[in-house]
Structure 1
Amino acid sequence: MKEPRGQRPRGGQGQGQASGEQVAAQHRFLREVVAALPALSSILASQFAACLVEAAPHGGQCLVLTRRGAAAPLPAGVENPLPLDAQIDENPGAAQVLLWHEAGFVEQVEICWFGQDHPLLGDLRLITDASPRPS
């Protein structure tokens, strides 16, 4: 997968340039999202490669994606948000990743978790799903 374009946090905590470690974690995580949804992998890979990825304004590990190039949209009927189950360490079901999309283009990756501390992207492992869920 081609890497998403320049990433920088915006608004809220962490304004300024994202560290190399944060950018690497974002790239790894987006590659994991692509691998977790094989039926949508080519579409998601092209969308992620054609976007600017930024940390969400509220801080944390959520991501905002802004389209900067051409990419195919998700097929009609894909659930919105598109949920992916995740685990933190060895705790399955402790987190969920939501891909929010508009007109077939992913605009936000939201991390939902159970517990007090927000997990880092590097601590999440997606539980793969063979096919997208219909809406």
Structure 2
Amino acid sequence: MAQKEGRCVKKGHEEGMRKAVSLLEKFELPLGLLPLGNVREVGFDRNTGYMWIIQEKVVEHKFESISKLFIYDTEINGYIKKKKIEKLNGVREGEPVSQIEVDDSSTGKIHFKSREGGIVKTFPVEAFAAGQ
């Protein structure tokens, strides 16, 4: 683990996966939101909320309960905060996703906003639970 001025970097698949899951838990996001493969590095800057993930290859994952295919690039980054990831890069569902937000209320919904046109797609949050 390397730390510099609020930054925490985990190298390797096991350490990286633990860090990615801990970030999802800490910021109250579904644990299955980022199905990653062969993680090289996961980093997080506590001062800015900036997080990044580097994995060896592109991961395509179909969330069966909603029949949607998401593509996770070799580099994923954005700003993570409670129930939200903003300025997201490296995630696509048809179009690039720029923001993911979980409702603050008990509606059980998660929203994906596209980069182009600001189209918002809403799904049940349980579709992104661990193991999905």
Q: TM-score, normalised by structure 2?
A: 0.35
**Which structure has the highest strand share of the two?**
2
**Which structure has the highest helix share of the two?**
1
Structure number with the bigger relative contact order (C-alpha 8 A, sep ≥ 6) is: 1
